[in-house]
A and B are shown apart, each in its own frame.
Chain A
Amino acid sequence: MSGHQKSFWTKYIFSTDHKMIAKQFLWLGMFFLFFGGALAMLIRWQLGYPEQPVPLIGNWMWPGDGGIINPDIYNQMFTMHGTIMIFWAITPLLIGAFGNFIIPLQIGAGDMAFPKLNLFSFWTMFLASLILLSSYLLPTGTAAGGWTSYPPLSSPAGGIPGLGQTIWTVALIFMGVSSMMGAINYITTVVRMRAPGMDYFKMPLSVWGLFLTSILNAVFVPVIAAGLVMLLLDQTIGTEFFLAGRLASGDPGDPLLFQHVFWIFGHPEVYILILPVWGIISDLLSVFSRKPAFGYRVTAIAMCTVTALSTLVWGHHMYTTGMSPLLGKSFMFLTLLISIPSAMFFLNWLGTMWKGSIHFTSPMLFSIGVIWVFGLGGLTGLYNATITADIYLHDTMFVVGHFHYTLAASVMFGSFAAIYFWFPRMFGRKLDSRLGKIHFWGTFISINFVFFNMMVLGYAGHHRRIYNPSEYSFLEPLTGLNEWISIFSFLLGVFQVVFLINMVWSMFKKERSPQNPWKATTLEWTMDYPIPHGNFEETPLVHNGPHEYSRPDIKDRDWLGQNERITV
Chain B
Amino acid sequence: MKNYQSKNINSIPYFFSGFWYKDPPKDVSLDGYRIDNVIHYTDLVIGIYFGIVVAALAYFIFKYRASLGHKAEYDHGNSRKNVMFTGGLGLLVFFSVDAVIEKMAFKDLKEAFWNFPKTENVIRIEVMPQQFAWNFCYAGPDNEFGTDDDIIPSQNQMHIPVNTPVVVQIASWDVIHSFYLPNFRIKQDATPGMITALWFQATETGVFDIACAELCGNSHYKMKGFLTVESEEDFQSWLSENTPEESQDDWDDWGDEDEEDTGVPEDWGWAWKEIK
Which positions in A face B, CB cutoff 8 Å? 49-52, 68, 71-72, 75, 144-146, 150, 152-153, 157-160, 243-248, 252, 254-256, 289-298, 320-322, 325, 329, 332-333, 336-337, 339-341, 343-344, 346-348, 350-360, 368, 371-372, 375-376, 379-380, 382-383, 386-389, 391-396, 453, 456-457, 459-461, 463-474, 477-481, 483-484, 545, 547, 549-552, 558
Bits for B101-125, please: 1 = Cβ < 8 Å to A, else 0. 1101110110001100000000000
Known: A322-B197, A463-B211, A479-B14. 19 other contacts (CB 8 A): A75-B215, A150-B176, A153-B216, A325-B114, A336-B98, A336-B99, A343-B90, A350-B57, A355-B75, A357-B72, A358-B65, A375-B54, A388-B108, A474-B25, A474-B208, A474-B209, A479-B11, A480-B7, A552-B74
A-side contacts of B99, CB under 8 Å: 336
CA distance A226 to B87 in the complex (A): 39
Give 8 nearest A-B pairs by CB, closest first.
A480-B14, A244-B193, A245-B192, A481-B18, A294-B77, A322-B196, A245-B193, A461-B182
**Residues on the A chain within 8 Å of B18, using CB:** 453, 456, 477-478, 480-481, 484
B93 x A332 contact (CB < 8 A): no
Question: Which of B35-43, B156-164, B231-239, B241-249 lines the interface with chain A?
Answer: B35-43
Which of A368, A387, A469 contacts B105, CB < 8 Å? Answer: A387
Complex contacts, A255 vs chain B, CB 8 Å: 176, 191-194
Q: A387 touches which one: B109, B175, B219 (CB < 8 A)? A: B109
B178–A395 contact, CB under 8 A?
Answer: yes
Task: Name the distance in Å between A468's Cβ and chain B's nearest Cβ.
Answer: 5
A74 CB to nearest chain B CB (Å): 8
Are B89 and A343 in contact, CB atoms less than 8 angstroms apart?
Answer: yes
Q: Kindly list chain B residues whose C-beta atoms are within 8 Å of the C-beta of A379.
A: 46, 49-50
A-B contact pairs, 22 of them (CB 8 A): A51-B3, A75-B215, A153-B175, A160-B217, A247-B174, A247-B192, A289-B64, A321-B189, A322-B189, A336-B102, A339-B94, A339-B97, A343-B89, A346-B53, A358-B66, A359-B66, A391-B113, A394-B187, A456-B21, A480-B11, A480-B13, A545-B76
Bitwise, B124-148 to A at CB < 8 A (1) or not (0) is 0000000100000000000000000
A336 close to B213 (CB less than 8 A): no
- With A340-B91, A341-B90, A391-B113 known as contacts, the answer to whether A320 contacts B75 (CB < 8 A) is no
Which residues does B use to contact A, with CB under 8 Å?
1-5, 7, 10-15, 17-25, 34-35, 38-39, 42, 46, 49-50, 53-54, 56-57, 60-61, 64-66, 68, 70-78, 82-83, 85-87, 89-91, 93-94, 97-99, 101-102, 104-106, 108-109, 113-114, 131, 171-176, 178, 180, 182-183, 185-189, 191-194, 196-197, 208-209, 211-222, 224
Contact check, B217 vs A460: say whether CB atoms are below 8 A apart: no
Across the interface, name the chain A residue whose C-beta is closest to B265: A246
Q: Which of A359, A371, A483, A558 has the most CB of B within 10 A?
A: A483
A295 touches B182 (CB 8 A): no
Q: How far is the CB of A303 from chain B (nearest CB, A)?
A: 13
Q: What's the least CB distance linking B148 to chain A, in Å?
A: 21
Quick one: which of A50, A382, A547 contacts B101, CB cutoff 8 A?
A: A382
Within 8 Å CB of B10, what residues of A? 479-480
B110 closest partner in A (C-beta): A325
Instruction: Give chain A residues whose Cβ lies under 8 Å from the Cβ of B34.
Output: 388
B35 touches A388 (CB 8 A): yes
Out of B24, B60, B175, name the residue touching A354 (CB < 8 Å).
B60
Cross-chain contact of A294 among B66, B82, B105, B222 (Cβ < 8 A): B82
State in angstroms the CA–CA spacing of A400 and B180 once bound together. Answer: 17
> CB < 8 Å: which of A248, A375, A469 contacts B193?
A248
Shortest CB-to-CB span from B55 to chain A, Å, is 11
Do the beta carbons of A244 and B194 come within 8 Å of each other? Answer: yes
Q: Is the CB of A368 within 8 A of B174?
A: no
**Contact among B4, B46, B182, B219 with A51 in the assembled complex (CB-CB below 8 Å):** B4
Q: Are the C-beta atoms of A350 and B56 separated by less than 8 Å? A: yes
Q: How far is the CA of A353 from the CA of B219 in the complex (A)?
A: 51
Evaluate contact between A463 and B180: CB separation under 8 angstroms. Answer: yes
Chain B residues contacting A153 (CB-CB under 8 Å) are: 175-176, 215-217
- CB of A344 within 8 A of CB of B87, answer yes
> CB-CB < 8 A to A340: which residues of B?
90-91, 93-94
The residue among A246, A453, A478 with the most chain B CB atoms within 10 A of its own CB is A246
Residue contact A294 to B64, C-beta cutoff 8 Å = no
A448 to chain B, nearest CB (A): 12
| Complex Cα gap A191–B26 (Å) | 57
Whether the Cβ atoms of B42 and A391 lie closer than 8 Å is: no
Contact A388 B105 (CB under 8 A): yes
Interface contact B71-A357, CB-CB below 8 Å? yes
**Which of chain A's residues have a CB closer than 8 A to the CB of B3?**
50-51, 468, 470-471
Q: With A245-B171, A355-B75, A550-B73 given, is the CB distance from A380 to B46 under 8 Å?
A: yes
Chain B residues near A252: list those with CB within 8 A: 193
Residues from chain B with a CB closer than 8 A to the CB of A344 are 86-87, 89-90
Q: A489 vs B104: C-alpha distance in the bound complex, in angstroms?
A: 36
Closest to A457 in B: B22
> Residue of B at shortest CB range from A460?
B22
Chain B hits for A152, CB < 8 A: 174-176, 192
**Residues of chain A with a CB closer than 8 A to B82's CB:** 294-295, 298, 351
Query: Are B192's CB and A246's CB within 8 A?
Result: yes
Across-interface contacts of B222 in A (CB, < 8 A)? 467-468, 471
State A344–B176 Cα separation when bound (angstroms).
Answer: 39
Known: A351-B77, A386-B105, A465-B220. A474 touches B183 (CB 8 A): yes
A388-B220 in contact (CB<8A): no
Contacting residues, chain B, for A158 (C-beta < 8 A):
174-175, 217
Please, how many angstroms separate the alpha-carbon atoms of A247 and B171 in the complex?
Answer: 13
